[in-house]
Structure 1
Amino acid sequence: MKQALGAVRRKFQPWNDPASRPFIEFRNVSKQFGSFTAVDHQTLTVFEREFHALLGPSGCGKTTLLRMLAGFEEPSEGEIWLDGKNLAGVPPHRRPVNMMFQSYALFPHMSVEKNIAFGLKQDGMPRGEIAARVDEMLKLVKLEPFAKRRPDKLSGGQRQRVALARALAKRPKVLLLDEPLGALDKKLREATQFELVGLQESLGLTFLIVTHDQEEAMTVADRISVMKEGKIAQIATPAEIYEAPSSRYVADFIGSVNVFEGTVESSSPGRLQLETDQGFTVRTATAPVLGAGTKAWFAVRPEKMRIDHDRPEGDGVNMVSGEVWDIGYLGDVTVYNVRLDSGKLVRASVMNAQRAVARPISWEERVWLSWSDDAGVILLD
């Protein structure tokens, strides 16, 4: 079994178990809108009880994948399977999925409880069962005191909870969330992300979320599919996506990163040396064996870099000097933009663990950046 990299939110990794059967399968799926290809022959598996995020910029195909699973769009090619059944030809209202939209799409003339009950009434559920289910959902999202209010009397976070309760009321096998937190302010969005995680785990449902917010995807998801131009660039856990990106695109899309182009000088198992175009040498223990002269890129996160006034001890590798170009104090972290002699800007971040620093670093000072052999990754694309 593959060993997970970095912290794991929960001990739930069916994708590493050969005996596990996928719950959702996109099998070589494509979708064209005229001459535009929104999804280009993609295969994706999601497991039961997984919280899976489709992450990428606008127009990358993530929402199209979600809409095809919901039945609002039909694939141009390929098949979509859910719980062992081919969904071809199955209309949206017959699929065991429900979708929560970014706009929430609440009925403004209905109270909270009537909004939650709407889909149940459409399905012909008996009145007593509807009332019991609505009460259950109100308790689940902690909106019991607001049952009689209309949406215009609620905050953004409360409206989001109503939409979530309505989507969950029909007890779908899969809940689809299309940018569900986009309308919330930053602090409320962060709090709601953790509420979503707790709710998903307690219900034991499969969640598939579409988002362009990498922090949101990293917070809620068991696994992330990073998308680019209709294709999935990498599928992995948040820690693996962040610490071991498969390409410069993924490295750059997830968080902040410094990337240096160079040529492999020497390579052997557990050790690679790269001569960068910036004139310094990188040595890394986390790299494939590559032939001398191979073009490659070294990616290292700002928090993996050390910044000092004095030149570090050592043999001269994994270090470079420059001038402090800009400083951003963010409270918990201070970010330094350092301009190398080549003109390239490099970012280093330092945790503010103490209120005072003996010898603070200031603008226009000459500093040294350094990092350990296992701080970054070598990329070929």
Structure 2
Amino acid sequence: MKSLGNIRRSFSPWSDPDARPMIAIRNVTKRFGEFTAVDDLSVDIHAREFFALLGASGCGKSTLLRMLAGFEAPNSGTIVLDGVDLAGIPPHRRPLNMMFQSYALFPHMSVADNVAFGLKQEKMAKGAIAERVGQMLKLVKLDRFAGRKPHQLSGGQRQRVALARALAKQPKVLLLDEPLGALDKKLREETQFELTDLQYDLGLTFVVVTHDQEEAMTMADRIAVMDAGRICQVATPAEVYEAPNSKFVADFIGSINLFDGEVASSQANRTVIAGPDGSVVAEDPIERSPGTSLCFAVRPEKIAVSHEPPAEGTNGIAGEVWDLAYLGDMTIFHVKLASGTVIKASMVNAARSSREVFTYHDRVWLSFSPDAGVVLER
């Protein structure tokens, strides 16, 4: 059996029909006046899962997170956490905590006092508070900075203080709203791996909201791609990338090339799609009716560029190099086809020198195998 991409860990309770989800969201709708932010949405999130809500601004992901936290109430539908309906339970009584993008640290308090704030509100014993704060700061590697104020820390360190404070009350679920948005690119990439390691070690359920595709792909066990208040697809990062269920998801996650056309023939797991630039053969388990409008979606890295036509059995389409960029580790090609469609291909520069040299306006062949992409109807 072929696997779609590599997996971070062998953990997939969502594939067990008898598994009970930690969070069960059923037919939830949230309106603000005439605007529907979340539209009849249902999804399950399992214990110990790192779950990402991914979408563009205004798609409803933050509203859904705020309903989980208790800062907003749904107009209809239910949210059940560990078997308990959350309707009417105020935020501070829910067994979850939320980490905001702004971190919301108290500037006049030390790092230790910031982490201890929620524990003091719960009237925990002083000795127990000191022990818990010490554990949390050690966990996020900030025990040496317990006496500092937030302004004396870097952005990454403030982010970890906010994380320690959110974890101090030992919630069943941690909600993270764009948690890495304030960090620079390099620090954000480093922190993504730190968060995944921390979540795995703690065995907690994390639900993160992000608009950053790479962030979701790096951290999450599963991703819910959202648009206009609805979930378009819920799947693992590899499944969302390699087997998107619609043109929207294919286009939203990474770069994609769409070869549009109509079914010329369909048999024996092969569909021939006739388009303006020639026919494309796609590996497709569904038998299609001739004349049906389809597209074959192929990622840039699955397409090879050559001066010579491809071998028999491989799709080949001729075009002209319209643009290219050498990025060191890879070269990006924009190839213009006869119809005017521009196809993006990427080539890994595994060697220091190249056997084939390309430049602007070269006539080239694009080639890709029938199983390089996915057939989409919508």
In structure 1, what is the Cα distance between the partners aligned to 2:2 and 2:74?
A: 35
How far residue 313 of structure 1 moved from its aligned partner, in angstroms, is: 2.6
CA contact (8 A) 1:251 1:257 kept: yes
CA contact (8 A) 2:277 2:338 kept: no
Q: Which residue of 2 aligns with 1:259?
A: 258
Q: Relative to structure 1, is the Cα distance of residues 13 and 124 closer, same or farther in structure 2, using a 3 angstrom cutoff?
A: same
CA contact (8 A) 1:332 1:353 kept: yes
Give the counterpart letter for 1:104 in structure 2: Y
In structure 2, what is the Cα distance between the partners aligned to 1:336 and 1:149?
A: 50
SS at structure 2 position matched to 1:167: helix
Structure 1 segment 218-229 matched on structure 2, within 5 A: 218-229=217-228
Give the counterpart letter for 1:301 in structure 2: R
Q: Relative to structure 1, is the Cα distance of residues 322 and 3 closer, same or farther in structure 2, using a 3 angstrom cutoff?
A: closer
Q: Relative to structure 1, is the Cα distance of residues 69 and 302 closer, same or farther in structure 2, using a 3 angstrom cutoff?
A: same
What is the alpha-carbon root mean square deviation over aligned residues? 1.2
CA contact (8 A) 1:51 1:206 kept: yes
In terms of mean alpha carbon deviation, does 264-273 or 46-55 score higher?
A: 264-273
Give the counterpart letter for 1:211 in structure 2: T
Q: Which residue of 1 aligns with 2:324?
A: 327
Structure 1 segment 211-250 matched on structure 2, within 5 A: 211-250=210-249
Structure 1 segment 200-211 matched on structure 2, within 5 A: 200-211=199-210
Q: Which deviations, in whole Å up to 9, do the C-alpha atoms of 1:16-59 show, x marking residues without a partner?
A: 11121111011000000000000000101000000000000000
CA contact (8 A) 1:286 1:376 kept: no
Structure 1 segment 275-294 matched on structure 2, within 5 A: 275-276=274-275, 278-294=276-292
In structure 2, what is the Cα distance between the partners aligned to 1:5 and 1:372?
A: 16
Structure 1 segment 48-63 matched on structure 2, within 5 A: 48-63=47-62
In structure 1, what is the Cα distance between the partners aligned to 2:161 and 2:3?
A: 36
Structure 2 residue runs of 5 or longer lacking an equivalent are: none
Q: Which consecutive aligned stretches of 4+ in structure 1 deviate over 6 angstroms post-superposition? A: none
Q: Which residue of 2 aligns with 1:364?
A: 361
Q: Which deviations, in whole Å up to 9, do the C-alpha atoms of 1:60-117 show, x marking residues without a partner?
A: 0000110000000000000000001100100000000100001111111111111101
In structure 1, what is the Cα distance between the partners aligned to 2:199 and 2:373?
A: 33
How far residue 327 of structure 1 moved from its aligned partner, in angstroms, is: 1.1
In structure 1, what is the Cα distance between the partners aligned to 2:311 and 2:6?
A: 31
In structure 2, what is the Cα distance between the partners aligned to 1:5 and 1:358?
A: 31
How far residue 260 of structure 1 moved from its aligned partner, in angstroms, is: 1.7
How far residue 7 of structure 1 moved from its aligned partner, in angstroms, is: 1.3
In structure 2, what is the Cα distance between the partners aligned to 1:234 and 1:4?
A: 19
SS at structure 2 position matched to 1:44: strand
In terms of mean alpha carbon deviation, does 101-110 or 260-269 score higher?
A: 260-269
CA contact (8 A) 1:327 1:335 kept: yes
Structure 1 segment 118-137 matched on structure 2, within 5 A: 118-137=117-136
In structure 2, what is the Cα distance between the partners aligned to 1:6 and 1:325?
A: 31
In terms of mean alpha carbon deviation, does 217-226 or 142-151 score higher?
A: 142-151
CA contact (8 A) 1:29 1:75 kept: yes
Q: Which deviations, in whole Å up to 9, do the C-alpha atoms of 1:311-341 show, x marking residues without a partner?
A: 12326x6211111111122221111111112
Q: Does 1:353 align with 2:339?
A: no
Q: Which residue of 2 aligns with 1:26?
A: 25
Q: Relative to structure 1, is the Cα distance of residues 28 and 3 closer, same or farther in structure 2, using a 3 angstrom cutoff?
A: farther
Question: Of 338, 350, 361, which aligns to 1:341?
Answer: 338
CA contact (8 A) 2:277 2:337 kept: no
In structure 1, what is the Cα distance between the partners aligned to 2:362 and 2:292?
A: 35
Give the counterpart letter for 1:209 in structure 2: V
How far residue 351 of structure 1 moved from its aligned partner, in angstroms, is: 0.6
In structure 2, what is the Cα distance between the partners aligned to 1:69 and 1:280?
A: 50
Structure 1 residue runs of 5 or longer lacking an equivalent are: none
CA contact (8 A) 1:264 1:291 kept: yes
Q: Which deviations, in whole Å up to 9, do the C-alpha atoms of 1:160-196 show, x marking residues without a partner?
A: 1011000000000000000000111111111100000
CA contact (8 A) 1:264 1:296 kept: yes
SS at structure 1 position matched to 2:197: helix
How far residue 3 of structure 1 moved from its aligned partner, in angstroms, is: 8.2
Q: Which residue of 2 aligns with 1:305?
A: 303
How far residue 202 of structure 1 moved from its aligned partner, in angstroms, is: 0.2
SS at structure 1 position matched to 2:65: helix
Q: TM-score, normalised by structure 2?
A: 0.98
Q: Which residue of 2 aligns with 1:171?
A: 170
Give the counterpart letter for 1:35 in structure 2: E
CA contact (8 A) 1:55 1:217 kept: yes
In structure 1, what is the Cα distance between the partners aligned to 2:244 and 2:286?
A: 14
How far residue 310 of structure 1 moved from its aligned partner, in angstroms, is: 1.3
CA contact (8 A) 1:287 1:377 kept: no
CA contact (8 A) 2:54 2:61 kept: yes
In structure 1, what is the Cα distance between the partners aligned to 2:3 and 2:123?
A: 46
